[in-house]
Structure 1
Amino acid sequence: MLADTSEMVQRGMPTPLSEENPTLFDYKREIEEHGYPVSGADQDLNRSSFVAEAAMATRTSERSTFNRLAVAQGLRYVHERSLFALYTGKITGRTAATLVKQTRGIPRATAQQIEASLLPTATTASDAAMALRIKRARDRLHPQPVADRRSRAEMGRSLLWWPEEDGMAVLQAYLPAEDVLTIFNTVSTHANLLLSSEQKRPLGQLRADVFRDSLIDGWPGQPRRKPALFVGLTIPALELLTNPERGIANLEGYGPIPLGVAMKLAVKAPALKPILTDPWTGSILDLGRKRYKPSKALRDFLRVRDEHCRFPGCRRPPALSEFDHIDEWSRGGETSVHNAQLLCKRHQIYKHVLGWQVVHLGNGSLQWRTPHGVTQLELPDGLLYPRPLNPDSPPIQLMLPGVSIDAPTRRLLGWDETDNIPGFPEPPAGPEEVP
């Protein structure tokens, strides 16, 4: 279904949204209309847009959906025998995915030759054994020299990270194998030197600590480096005052961390900037159309409110995102908090070239709509209790449950006795008081 649907999109077949708005997919518009030197008919651009739609519909990441689509198309158009074997339950989904991944980028005939030679074995072998067999067959039959493939693979060097539970995260480096082994062996050598005198930390923790200390504090025996830079640390003052032991702060790009850890990081901060938030909902409160470029205050506001690109599922940090007018400036949109969001370059192109639509619903909440009519609500990470978007308002939650304010207290506070104060129940009916 993924492969066939992607093919339909590539062919430009009509959709309910395109029939509703015939000019939405008018790819003959001039570049100046959207300001990007790309065409809405670009095949790779439409493929990536479809991946984003499919990811939104299945509530998965774009990377995961792209991999699923690649496997689907590989089975659909190249490895039809494996597709049938998977359908009948003779091979596993992991082996099928490995076959597609390992034969990507080689001639179709060679890919099918590898499939034909290994498919009988795949009906009984484990996934790990099949992964090794497929890799060896690929290296043996690949038409390009291994040196050329290595040079191309080196172009994909990268350093990635992803969050884990309880304030932890994983760092992943994609480097040539000899470099990875050199780094690991160097760290292990220093960790083993510390192991004999260590009482509490096992070898795994020692390796992690040596790796961390060498990058942040400097290698042992070398001049101490300047403290590392920490950015985007939000400490809620209300929790700091009322519940410091169980309080939670927010680390930009990651999410919640213990308040005690945040306070240790804040000691190293060169400056602190107060930001007003709603203590009950967690939404960030405000800091016209007089200027196109946002002020520094507005940029700082978006950096704290949005934390990353606001396209559904995208986590590119503010440094890799840009200020975007939700309603375009050329069509009367203001440069204000209520008409602003952070978007990375790729998703700005989706919005301005491919017809993705977004509406600001208040409190930084956004409603996205894809070119084919799929909608999704995107909320700021720091919004604890988003306001309901349906017309039926929920019952008011009392700020002080079980507390009522009698008439003398109202007069003392300067409240009119006839006013209905939100968040407090009405005082019980009693005998009329004599002023």
Structure 2
Amino acid sequence: MVDGLESTLLADTSEMVQRGMPTPLSEENPTLFDYKQEVEEHGYPLLSGDRDLNRSSLVAEAAIVTRTSERSTFNRLATAEGLRNVHERSLFALYTGSITSRTAAALVKQTQGIPRATARQIEAILLPTAATASDASMALRIKRARERLHPEAASDRRSRAETGRSLMWWPEPDGMAVLQAYLPAEDVLSIYNTVSMHSNLLASSEEQRPLGQLRADVFRDSLIEGWPGQHAKKQPPFVGLTIPALQLLTDPERGTANLEGYGPIPIGAALLLAARAPTLRAILTDPWTGSVLDLGRKRYKPSKALRDFLRVRDEHCRFPGCRRAPESSEFDHIEDWAAGGVTSTQNAQLLCKRHQIYKHVLGWRAVHLGNGSLQWRTPHGVTELELPDGLLYPRALGPEPTPIQAMLPGTSIDAQAKRLLCWDETAEIPGIPDTGPEPRDGDG
């Protein structure tokens, strides 16, 4: 039921933003969303009232408010708009708690890109079953109905889907991660069967590793070291690694190093990786907070040293929630150069191209607060504190908060009021003096 209400809120908010409803920030600066002026100044190839750009900016704001990733919020918004604009009956079923949000999301996802009449036909057929069937069963039923009623040929849909090929990864606990490839089904099966064949050959010998580990090791070795029989091995690509010297000396068993783009890994694993590094770089960090202070480089030009500094301090795009690598990000002046901003560590950050557009065109603002910490403000006034990943113990960045005052200072609560509130007459209320006179019997 809550998911149904959230879907309505997300979809309606998106529509309001697309209609260009005024916000406090836009009223404060009427030229803020003047795309023509901004395009001429910054050179970004944008169209006036770009719907996709406004939509992505709204997704970023909603992700900040809900503390979720932009990808997750984008999917939730897509589901919300599908329910609000196409599958109203499913939305009302969510309101009443008759179906699950997972089934509703599967219905929207499977009916995207097909005529509205066909999408509603699938909904009408399956909605009664969704009240009692499991999510897994409904996902399969929706998929089959889509294939049966889809007006477009399967070959045409396949050709369009192939343009979305991608390779992704995400971190897992204890120094591990997952690699995911989105490819045609026959390619995935070919890769898997090839890896399985080599793994089965190893498993037939005196190999002690389980088959699952063998598949993972063969897959890893084939990409990094090369298939067996290949003599020419390429140098592995650059991997950023920070090993704290104090932890290495004092507690090597429990200490951790920082793998760029991932986070903490055991020092032992870091040392094995560092043993193959062609060069090492000295980095000075604050031993208590972990913040990067300086780089041990003296032979490079300042611009090169500053880029190296940002790569180590920021590790990725500094927009809230964005994890694009330094190779996909660019140097950005926090305070624009044209507005008097200087080129320094206190006025620099890494930003990917999309989030540079947010900052320079859509009115997102960033302020450096020290130690590499940034305060971001969205076009609609939402603020978010973005800290560097390596900052272990951030110091307070603002003044001490004002002590909370009593709700009703100076007010006394007599025994009769306590009885009406079901309060223990002998209990003391913190912050409120209990000096009022006790009422006599018969007093109103």
Band the TM-score falls in, shorter-chain normalisation: 0.7 to 0.9
Show the counterpart of 1:200: 208
Show the counterpart of 2:378: 370
**Conservation of the 8 A alpha-carbon contact between 1:284 and 1:305:** yes
Q: Which amino acid aligns with 1:124?
A: T
The correspondence of residues 166-177 of structure 1 with structure 2, limited to 5 A, is: 166-177=174-185
Q: Give unmatched runs, 5+ long, in structure 1.
A: 288-292, 394-435
The correspondence of residues 130-169 of structure 1 with structure 2, limited to 5 A, is: 130-169=138-177
Show the counterpart of 1:290: none
**Conservation of the 8 A alpha-carbon contact between 1:230 and 1:265:** no
Show the counterpart of 2:126: 118
Q: Deviations over 1:148-190 (max 9, x none)?
A: 1101100011111000000000000100000101111111111
**Conservation of the 8 A alpha-carbon contact between 2:283 and 2:294:** no
Q: CA deviation at 1:40?
A: 5.5
- Aligned residue for 1:210, secondary structure, equals helix
Show the counterpart of 1:102: 110
Q: Does 1:321 align with 2:329?
A: yes
Distance 1:30 1:80 in 2: 39
**Conservation of the 8 A alpha-carbon contact between 1:355 and 1:371:** yes
**Residues 198 and 9 of structure 1, relative CA distance in 2, 3 Å threshold:** farther
Q: Which amino acid aligns with 1:217?
A: E
Show the counterpart of 2:244: 236
- Aligned residue for 1:163, secondary structure, equals strand
Q: CA deviation at 1:204?
A: 0.7
Q: Give unmatched runs, 5+ long, in structure 2.
A: 1-8, 296-300, 402-444
- Aligned residue for 1:170, secondary structure, equals strand
Q: CA deviation at 1:230?
A: 3.8
- Select 1:385's aligned residue among 369, 386, 393: 393
**Conservation of the 8 A alpha-carbon contact between 1:368 and 1:378:** yes
**Residues 25 and 9 of structure 1, relative CA distance in 2, 3 Å threshold:** same
4+ runs deviating over 4 angstroms: none
Q: Does 1:356 align with 2:364?
A: yes
**Conservation of the 8 A alpha-carbon contact between 1:248 and 1:259:** yes
Identity %: 81
Distance 1:27 1:299 in 2: 30
- Select 2:26's aligned residue among 18, 21, 29: 18
Show the counterpart of 2:262: 254
Show the counterpart of 1:280: 288
Distance 2:323 2:100 in 1: 32
Distance 1:388 1:103 in 2: 49
Q: CA deviation at 1:203?
A: 1.0
- Aligned residue for 2:292, secondary structure, equals coil
Q: Deviations over 1:258-303 (max 9, x none)?
A: 111111111100101111111111111144xxxxx97111000000
- Aligned residue for 1:166, secondary structure, equals coil
- Select 1:271's aligned residue among 269, 279, 300: 279
Question: What is the TM-score when the length of structure 2 is the normalising length?
Answer: 0.85
- Aligned residue for 2:156, secondary structure, equals helix
Moved more, 199-208 or 266-275: 199-208
Show the counterpart of 1:90: 98
Distance 1:225 1:362 in 2: 44
Q: Which amino acid aligns with 1:68?
A: R
Q: Which amino acid aligns with 1:79?
A: H
Distance 1:368 1:40 in 2: 25
**Conservation of the 8 A alpha-carbon contact between 1:163 and 1:170:** yes
- Aligned residue for 1:207, secondary structure, equals helix
Q: CA deviation at 1:39?
A: 3.7
- Select 1:307's aligned residue among 304, 309, 315: 315
**Conservation of the 8 A alpha-carbon contact between 1:99 and 1:115:** yes
Q: Which amino acid aligns with 2:63?
A: A
Distance 2:239 2:221 in 1: 19
Q: CA deviation at 1:30?
A: 5.1
Q: Which amino acid aligns with 2:177?
A: A
Q: Does 1:334 align with 2:347?
A: no
Question: What is the TM-score when the length of structure 1 is the normalising length?
Answer: 0.87
Distance 1:327 1:285 in 2: 21
- Aligned residue for 1:65, secondary structure, equals helix
Moved more, 35-44 or 211-220: 35-44
Distance 1:94 1:307 in 2: 35
**Residues 22 and 192 of structure 1, relative CA distance in 2, 3 Å threshold:** same
Q: Does 1:4 align with 2:7?
A: no
Q: Deviations over 1:122-158 (max 9, x none)?
A: 1122111111111111112112111111011000111
Q: Does 1:31 align with 2:36?
A: no
Q: CA deviation at 1:227?
A: 4.1
Show the counterpart of 1:405: none
Distance 2:154 2:314 in 1: 44
**Conservation of the 8 A alpha-carbon contact between 1:294 and 1:335:** no
Q: Which amino acid aligns with 2:68?
A: T
Moved more, 333-342 or 230-239: 230-239
Q: CA deviation at 1:21?
A: 2.9
- Aligned residue for 1:366, secondary structure, equals strand
Show the counterpart of 1:346: 354
Moved more, 87-96 or 2-11: 87-96
**Residues 222 and 27 of structure 1, relative CA distance in 2, 3 Å threshold:** closer
Q: CA deviation at 1:12?
A: 0.8
Distance 1:390 1:354 in 2: 27
Q: CA deviation at 1:34?
A: 2.6
Show the counterpart of 1:421: none
Q: CA deviation at 1:312?
A: 0.2
Q: Which amino acid aligns with 1:271?
A: T
Q: Which amino acid aligns with 2:390?
A: G
Q: CA deviation at 1:330?
A: 1.0
Distance 2:233 2:314 in 1: 32
